[in-house]
Copies of this chain bind each other. A is one copy, B any other.
Amino acid sequence: MGKLVTEMLKGTLEGIVLAILAGRPAYGYEITAWLRDQGFSDIAEGTIYALLVRIEQRGLVDVRKVPSEKGPPRKVYSLNAQGREYLEEFWRTWSFLAERLEQLREGGE
């Protein structure tokens, strides 16, 4: 994809990850793989891990270490109450932006 997606992901990637965690607990490697599968072909692994650290420090997720059969222990993240609240705020902001953009798209053609 390229630079356009990269810039657009700023701010939304966080919401995406939180939305994933709202569905089920998950760990970094898994999330990265899932995103790549969904078409975010150029998401960098390091990006996801950094993001996870960030949302952990903000207290939006709970973490527990789970041993893996195939490698180092996994850090499994799950959304907590505060995270769910934040996610709703994210959806509100997203809706606002999406509405404005949809209006612009229609008006411009």
Contacts and interface: CB of A to CB of B under 8 A. Distances in A.
A66 interface: no
Copies per complex of this chain: 2
A44 B6 CA distance: 22
A6 B48 CA distance: 20
Given A4-B89, A8-B93, A10-B10, A16 B100 contact: yes
Interface residues of A, number: 34
A11 to B, nearest CB: 3
A3 to B, nearest CB: 9
Interface of A: 1, 4-12, 14-16, 19-20, 22-23, 38-40, 89-91, 93-94, 96-98, 100-101, 104-105, 107-108
